[in-house]
């Protein structure tokens, strides 16, 4: 029986989506599901959600729930990681402290000061998961959803290369889905490939029955002034290639927009958007718990879009599927740094996950990816060397931060975040730095 461990299962809404997708596959309906979270209340809600899904789908998975991570991982074939260290309180800190210094963020989970400090909180947990996997399920595949994706997967490749890991994110799929819908083309009929880094990959191929869809997209954008009032449409017009993450995300990975009031207004950038999203997630969790307490029925999504169920199905049943995964750059993208985490198409079958070499990116796209990876690489190096000064250096070279703040303010902001996060950070990182 296939055993799937969910780490951070207290992310109940996401757990529900993944489990529902899994249980709709008849051959996987009797899987063993091991749920883990450090929050006992959330874990209990996740367990009840799984049992509710089993009853609704008429399936019989073996569901266990435990706060003991090693016990959950023991004998697992797949480990799905969706941990958010510090929860919503840490997210508020990542936004509120930088805002006092005048730094705008939209999502703050991937790059910039929010991404750097989220990575520093997460790396020790990833190491602990990898250590447990090495002891109790050394052949398992780690399917990581936790952000900052590029930093986390780079960290794992440096510190736990023995763990078979891939980072999964739905951004490429939903980009293609939404663009195809914009043009009135069925997404199931299009062919596409993207490459770059997670949340800043580039749609390099996109066609419908052999027709390149980019000319039609350019015509559609040229005809719609309101459509042009979005960050990634603006980036597409200027760079020639469409980025694979939302405008909210994309705005904070470049130095062009967030520091400028006029650009924020022109492109309708929702500053602080992730705070509202996080609050909505808390409300959705509370609603889920209330529905279960009352014996009601949860809303179940219709569309299967997440990659983890597809990966598990392909590897377990011997089918073949192509996804976009985040893996170390071992000859995959020629003009991005070797060893950095890149996002590329991957074929998945019974033998494993096979990343596809993509050659070189368009040079203007690679240039932006290099700036992104400079921040990620310095953050990983800071943790490897336990160097608190390098944390500040990572934030200094961040495009949005460097376009907004003076150097002294960057250091002061990092000191304030260290103090605010306290023991959520590793001990070596909890020091002020004088220069």
Q: How far is CA 138 from the centre of its chain?
A: 24
Tokens for 208, please give them: 């419908």
In whole angstroms, what is the distance from residue 343 CA to residue 200 CA? Answer: 9
Burial category of 298 from C-beta neighbours within 10 Å (exposed 0-12, middle 13-18, buried 19 and up): middle
- Is 170 considered catalytic here? yes
In whole angstroms, what is the distance from residue 174 CA to residue 305 CA? Answer: 8
Catalytic residue among 52, 141, 170, 249: 170
Cis peptide bond prior to 148, omega within 30° of 0: yes
Which residues partner with 359 through β-bridges? 333
Burial category of 91 from C-beta neighbours within 10 Å (exposed 0-12, middle 13-18, buried 19 and up): buried
In whole angstroms, what is the distance from residue 33 CA to residue 50 CA? Answer: 9
Q: Which residues contact 124 (CB under 8 A, 6 or more apart)?
A: 426
In whole angstroms, what is the distance from residue 329 CA to residue 326 CA? Answer: 9
At residue 207, φ and ψ (nearest 5 deg) are -145, 160
E-assigned strand segments in 339-427: 341-349, 352-355
Tokens for 303, please give them: 């569309």
In whole angstroms, what is the distance from residue 45 CA to residue 293 CA? Answer: 9
Q: Give the three-state DSSP class for 254.
A: coil
Query: In this structure, how many other beta carbons lie within 10 angstroms of the beta carbon of residue 296?
Result: 10
Tell me which residues are annotated as active site. 170
């Amino acid at each position: 029986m296939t055993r799937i461990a969910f780490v951070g299962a207290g992310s109940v809404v996401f757990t529900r989506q993944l489990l529902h997708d899994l249980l709709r596959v008849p051959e996987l309906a009797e899987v063993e599901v091991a749920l883990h979270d450090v929050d006992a209340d959330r874990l209990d809600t996740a367990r009840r959600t799984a049992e509710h899904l089993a009853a609704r789908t008429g399936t019989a998975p073996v569901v266990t729930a435990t706060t003991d991570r090693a016990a959950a991982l023991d004998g697992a074939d797949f480990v799905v990681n969706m941990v958010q260290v510090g929860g919503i309180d840490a997210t508020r800190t990542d936004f509120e402290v930088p805002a006092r210094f005048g730094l705008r963020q939209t999502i703050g989970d991937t790059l910039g000061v929010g991404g750097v400090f989220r990575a520093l909180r997460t790396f020790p947990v990833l190491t602990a998961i990898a250590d447990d996997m090495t002891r109790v399920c050394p052949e398992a595949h780690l399917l990581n959803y936790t952000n900052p994706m590029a930093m986390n997967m780079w960290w794992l490749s440096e510190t736990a290369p023995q763990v078979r890991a891939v980072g999964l994110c739905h951004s490429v799929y939903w980009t293609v889905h939404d663009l195809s819908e914009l043009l009135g083309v069925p997404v199931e009929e299009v062919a596409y490939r993207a490459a770059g880094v997670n949340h800043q990959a580039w749609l390099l191929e996109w066609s419908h029955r052999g027709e390149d869809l980019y000319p039609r997209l350019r015509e559609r954008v040229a005809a719609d002034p309101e459509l042009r009032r979005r960050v990634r449409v603006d980036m597409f017009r200027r760079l020639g290639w469409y980025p694979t993450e939302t405008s909210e995300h994309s705005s904070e990975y470049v130095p062009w927009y967030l520091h400028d009031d006029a650009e924020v207004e022109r492109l309708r950038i929702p500053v602080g958007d992730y705070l509202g999203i996080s609050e909505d997630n808390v409300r959705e969790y509370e609603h889920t718990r209330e529905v279960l307490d009352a014996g009601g029925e949860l809303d179940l999504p219709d569309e299967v879009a997440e990659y983890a169920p597809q990966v598990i199905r392909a590897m377990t049943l011997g089918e073949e599927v192509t996804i976009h995964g985040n893996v170390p750059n071992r000859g995959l993208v020629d003009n991005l740094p070797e060893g950095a985490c890149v996002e590329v198409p991957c074929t998945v079958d019974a033998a494993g996950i096979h990343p596809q070499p993509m050659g070189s990116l368009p040079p203007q796209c690679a240039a932006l990816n290099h700036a992104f990876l400079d921040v990620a690489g310095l953050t990983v190096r800071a943790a490897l060397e336990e160097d608190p000064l390098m944390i500040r250096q990572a934030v200094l070279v961040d495009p949005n931060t460097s376009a907004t703040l003076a150097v002294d303010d960057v250091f002061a902001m990092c000191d304030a975040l260290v103090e605010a996060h306290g023991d959520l950070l590793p001990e070596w990182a909890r020091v002020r730095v004088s220069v």
